[in-house]
Amino acid sequence: MPDDIASTEGRTLTETDEAIASAVYPILVAVAGARPERTITFETLILDARQQLVGHEHPIHTQIAVNMGRRLEALRGHTQPYGYPDLSSLVVNTGGRNPLPEVIVRQAHARAFDWQAVAPAFLAGLGIDAATGVPRLRRTEPEARDVMGAHWRDHAKRYHPAIRDCRDEILTALVTGEGVEAVFTAIDRRLRGPDEPVAG
């Protein structure tokens, strides 16, 4: 497999970089598995991601092709630590070119890899729902607080009293786009342990 590509020195990735990396991941996985083999242009990648997220407020809707390099660098920042192939190798300009070193080899690795067998922690870090394979829609912290508060007001009696001490953990999960009931239920089960029944 080709050598890893170093991150751009001094670059700090933003929430927008991460959100767009998450949005394009399932599209690039589909490109990797396509037969006959194909690549995808920056413009088409953006349009396909917009279609996937139609009706949702998301930074992909204002993304332009010229800034996609840093978004793909964010995606590479998730795949490289796991030793997964470089999906960004499948993205080309309108002339059909990609400037990465050993791009043909990188494309072959991306196409041969079993993207259905990736680690759940990788998907979670990228903000991908493991069950559906699509991006979880991230929330701002104020949005997460509102969702948490509304759920607590309506369902507090269902949960272990110590769940109040897990507020930061709940907020973190909600910001990444996890479902509020799933978050509360998972923490509640952990707090109760294997022997204490879950409240109805």
Q: How many CB atoms lie within 10 A of CB 200?
A: 5
157 sits in which H/E element: none
Residue 112's domain comprises: 15-126
Q: Both 118 and 145 in a single domain? A: no
Q: Could you tell me if 68 and 46 are in contact, meaning their C-beta atoms sit under 8 angstroms apart?
A: yes
Residue ending a domain, choose from 77, 95, 126? 126
| DSSP label of 40 | E
**Domains of the chain: total:** 2
As a dihedral over the C-alpha atoms of residue 72, residue 175, residue 169, residue 167, rounded to 10 degrees, the angle is 160
Q: Both 108 and 168 in a single domain? A: no
- pLDDT per residue of the chain (200 residues) written in tens, 0 to 9: 677 777 665 568 888 899 999 999 999 999 999 999 999 999 999 999 999 888 777 889 999 999 999 999 999 999 999 999 999 999 999 999 999 999 999 999 999 999 999 998 899 888 887 777 878 777 788 888 999 999 999 999 999 999 999 999 999 888 877 788 888 999 999 998 877 666 55
Q: Both 26 and 120 in a single domain? A: yes
Strands (E), 27-184: 40-41, 91-92
Q: Both 64 and 90 in a single domain? A: yes
Distance separating alpha carbons of residues 115 and 123, to the nearest angstrom: 11
Q: Both 103 and 161 in a single domain? A: no
